[in-house]
Protein backbone atom coordinates (compact mmCIF):
# COMPACT_ATOMS: atom_id res chain seq x y z
CA UNK A 1 0.00 0.00 0.00
CA UNK A 2 2.63 2.63 0.76
CA UNK A 3 3.93 2.29 -2.80
CA UNK A 4 0.51 2.39 -4.47
CA UNK A 5 -1.72 4.52 -2.24
CA UNK A 6 -3.98 5.77 -5.03
CA UNK A 7 -4.71 2.26 -6.32
CA UNK A 8 -5.39 1.05 -2.78
CA UNK A 9 -7.87 3.90 -2.28
CA UNK A 10 -9.63 3.04 -5.54
CA UNK A 11 -9.95 -0.60 -4.43
CA UNK A 12 -11.32 0.31 -1.00
CA UNK A 13 -13.80 2.84 -2.36
CA UNK A 14 -15.00 0.35 -4.95
CA UNK A 15 -15.38 -2.38 -2.30
CA UNK A 16 -17.49 -0.09 -0.09
CA UNK A 17 -19.71 0.86 -3.04
CA UNK A 18 -20.20 -2.73 -4.17
CA UNK A 19 -21.07 -3.91 -0.65
CA UNK A 20 -23.57 -1.07 -0.21
CA UNK A 21 -25.05 -1.76 -3.64
CA UNK A 22 -25.43 -5.48 -3.05
CA UNK A 23 -27.03 -4.80 0.33
CA UNK A 24 -29.50 -2.40 -1.30
CA UNK A 25 -30.30 -5.11 -3.87
CA UNK A 26 -31.22 -7.46 -1.02
CA UNK A 27 -28.23 -9.79 -1.40
CA UNK A 28 -27.56 -9.41 2.35
CA UNK A 29 -28.40 -7.08 5.20
CA UNK A 30 -25.92 -4.33 5.97
CA UNK A 31 -26.37 -2.35 9.17
CA UNK A 32 -23.22 -0.24 9.12
CA UNK A 33 -20.04 -0.46 7.12
CA UNK A 34 -16.71 0.59 8.55
CA UNK A 35 -13.03 0.34 7.77
CA UNK A 36 -10.21 -0.99 9.95
CA UNK A 37 -6.58 -0.44 9.09
CA UNK A 38 -3.18 -1.08 10.64
CA UNK A 39 -0.11 1.04 9.79
CA UNK A 40 -0.33 1.82 6.04
CA UNK A 41 -3.82 0.32 6.16
CA UNK A 42 -4.63 2.92 8.81
CA UNK A 43 -3.51 5.57 6.36
CA UNK A 44 -5.73 4.01 3.70
CA UNK A 45 -8.69 3.91 6.09
CA UNK A 46 -8.11 7.57 6.96
CA UNK A 47 -8.00 8.52 3.27
CA UNK A 48 -11.20 6.58 2.55
CA UNK A 49 -12.81 8.40 5.49
CA UNK A 50 -11.80 11.86 4.30
CA UNK A 51 -11.79 11.65 0.49
CA UNK A 52 -15.19 10.03 -0.15
CA UNK A 53 -16.54 13.11 -1.97
CA UNK A 54 -14.05 12.70 -4.82
CA UNK A 55 -14.57 10.71 -7.99
CA UNK A 56 -11.19 9.06 -7.56
CA UNK A 57 -11.49 6.60 -10.44
CA UNK A 58 -13.53 6.37 -13.65
CA UNK A 59 -17.02 4.99 -13.05
CA UNK A 60 -17.39 1.33 -14.00
CA UNK A 61 -21.10 0.72 -13.42
CA UNK A 62 -24.08 1.80 -11.29
CA UNK A 63 -22.30 0.84 -8.08
CA UNK A 64 -20.04 3.84 -8.63
CA UNK A 65 -22.96 6.22 -8.03
CA UNK A 66 -23.17 4.97 -4.42
CA UNK A 67 -21.34 6.72 -1.59
CA UNK A 68 -17.96 5.30 -0.60
CA UNK A 69 -18.04 7.00 2.80
CA UNK A 70 -17.45 4.55 5.63
CA UNK A 71 -19.87 4.81 8.56
CA UNK A 72 -16.91 4.60 10.97
CA UNK A 73 -13.19 3.91 11.01
CA UNK A 74 -10.68 2.22 13.30
CA UNK A 75 -7.07 3.30 12.83
CA UNK A 76 -4.64 1.03 14.67
CA UNK A 77 -1.06 2.35 14.79
CA UNK A 78 -1.75 4.43 11.66
CA UNK A 79 1.20 5.67 9.62
CA UNK A 80 1.79 8.45 7.07
CA UNK A 81 -0.88 10.81 8.42
CA UNK A 82 1.63 13.47 9.46
CA UNK A 83 3.38 14.26 6.18
CA UNK A 84 2.31 17.89 6.16
CA UNK A 85 4.57 20.85 6.93
CA UNK A 86 6.36 20.36 10.28
CA UNK A 87 4.78 16.91 10.73
CA UNK A 88 1.24 18.25 10.62
CA UNK A 89 -1.70 16.45 9.00
CA UNK A 90 -1.01 15.11 5.51
CA UNK A 91 -2.62 17.65 3.12
CA UNK A 92 -4.56 15.03 1.13
CA UNK A 93 -6.58 14.15 4.24
CA UNK A 94 -9.68 16.32 3.90
CA UNK A 95 -11.09 16.18 7.43
CA UNK A 96 -14.40 17.98 7.78
CA UNK A 97 -17.59 17.74 9.84
CA UNK A 98 -18.82 14.93 7.56
CA UNK A 99 -15.87 12.67 8.32
CA UNK A 100 -17.06 9.49 10.07
CA UNK A 101 -16.41 8.81 13.77
CA UNK A 102 -13.03 7.22 14.46
CA UNK A 103 -11.32 5.04 17.01
CA UNK A 104 -7.56 5.58 17.02
CA UNK A 105 -5.00 3.51 18.89
CA UNK A 106 -1.23 4.04 18.94
CA UNK A 107 1.81 4.12 21.20
CA UNK A 108 4.34 6.79 22.13
CA UNK A 109 7.30 4.58 21.20
CA UNK A 110 5.97 3.97 17.67
CA UNK A 111 7.96 6.00 15.11
CA UNK A 112 4.59 6.72 13.43
CA UNK A 113 2.85 7.66 16.70
CA UNK A 114 2.46 11.30 15.67
CA UNK A 115 0.05 10.20 12.93
CA UNK A 116 -2.51 9.28 15.57
CA UNK A 117 -2.09 12.61 17.33
CA UNK A 118 -2.47 14.84 14.27
CA UNK A 119 -5.49 12.89 12.99
CA UNK A 120 -7.17 13.07 16.39
CA UNK A 121 -6.55 16.81 16.56
CA UNK A 122 -7.96 17.38 13.07
CA UNK A 123 -11.10 15.38 13.87
CA UNK A 124 -11.54 17.08 17.23
CA UNK A 125 -11.18 20.52 15.61
CA UNK A 126 -14.01 19.64 13.21
CA UNK A 127 -16.13 18.24 16.07
CA UNK A 128 -16.09 14.72 14.62
CA UNK A 129 -16.45 12.05 17.31
CA UNK A 130 -13.02 10.54 17.94
CA UNK A 131 -11.62 8.29 20.63
CA UNK A 132 -7.84 8.15 21.03
CA UNK A 133 -5.90 5.64 23.10
CA UNK A 134 -2.17 6.32 23.27
CA UNK A 135 -0.10 3.92 25.35
CA UNK A 136 3.47 4.58 26.42
CA UNK A 137 4.85 1.37 24.92
CA UNK A 138 4.02 -1.25 22.34
CA UNK A 139 5.96 -0.13 19.30
CA UNK A 140 4.63 -0.65 15.79
CA UNK A 141 3.27 -3.69 13.99
CA UNK A 142 1.95 -5.57 17.01
CA UNK A 143 -1.46 -6.55 15.62
CA UNK A 144 -3.04 -8.86 18.18
CA UNK A 145 0.12 -10.73 19.19
CA UNK A 146 0.16 -12.01 22.79
CA UNK A 147 2.86 -10.59 25.02
CA UNK A 148 2.62 -7.01 23.74
CA UNK A 149 0.68 -4.63 26.00
CA UNK A 150 -0.67 -2.62 23.07
CA UNK A 151 -1.77 -5.75 21.18
CA UNK A 152 -3.50 -7.04 24.28
CA UNK A 153 -5.21 -3.70 25.01
CA UNK A 154 -6.65 -2.27 21.80
CA UNK A 155 -9.15 -5.04 20.88
CA UNK A 156 -11.17 -4.72 24.10
CA UNK A 157 -11.18 -0.92 23.85
CA UNK A 158 -12.29 -1.12 20.21
CA UNK A 159 -15.07 -3.54 21.14
CA UNK A 160 -16.44 -1.16 23.77
CA UNK A 161 -16.23 1.75 21.32
CA UNK A 162 -18.03 -0.21 18.61
CA UNK A 163 -20.78 -1.25 21.05
CA UNK A 164 -21.33 2.20 22.52
CA UNK A 165 -20.50 4.58 19.67
CA UNK A 166 -21.32 2.67 16.49
CA UNK A 167 -23.87 -0.08 17.13
CA UNK A 168 -26.17 1.72 19.60
What's the pLDDT tens digit per position in 13-65? 999 999 999 998 888 888 899 999 999 999 999 999 999 998 888 899 999 99
pLDDT score, position 78 = 98
Q: Where are the domains of the chain?
A: 5-166
The dihedrals phi and psi of 86, each to the nearest 5 degrees, come to: 55, 45
Quote the longest CA-to-CA distance of the chain. 48
Instruction: Give the chain's mean pLDDT.
Output: 94
The dihedrals phi and psi of 94, each to the nearest 5 degrees, come to: -100, 70
* Angle between helix 113-125 and helix 40-50 axes, rounded to 10 deg: 20
Query: Under CATH, which number does the domain 5-166 receive?
Result: 3.40.50.1820
pLDDT band per the 50, 70, 90 thresholds, residue 134:
very high
pLDDT score, position 24 = 87
Is the per-residue pLDDT at 157 higher than 60?
yes
Q: Looking at the DSSP assignment, which residues form a beta bridge with residue 75?
A: 37, 104
pLDDT score, position 31 = 85
Positive or negative CA dihedral for 32, 51, 77, 136?
negative
pLDDT score, position 2 = 57
Distance of CA 52 to the CA centre of its chain: 12
Average pLDDT over residues 119-148: 97
| Helix then strand then coil, % of the chain, to nearest 5 | 40, 15, 45
pLDDT band per the 50, 70, 90 thresholds, residue 70:
very high
Burial 77-100 (b: 16+ CB within 10 A, else e): bbbbbbbeeeeebbebbbbeeebb
pLDDT band per the 50, 70, 90 thresholds, residue 1:
low
Amino acid sequence: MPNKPQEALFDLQRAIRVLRGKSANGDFKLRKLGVLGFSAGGSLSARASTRFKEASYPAIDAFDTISSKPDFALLIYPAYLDQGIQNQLTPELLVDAESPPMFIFATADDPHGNSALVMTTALRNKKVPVELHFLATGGHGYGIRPGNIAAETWPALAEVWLQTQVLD
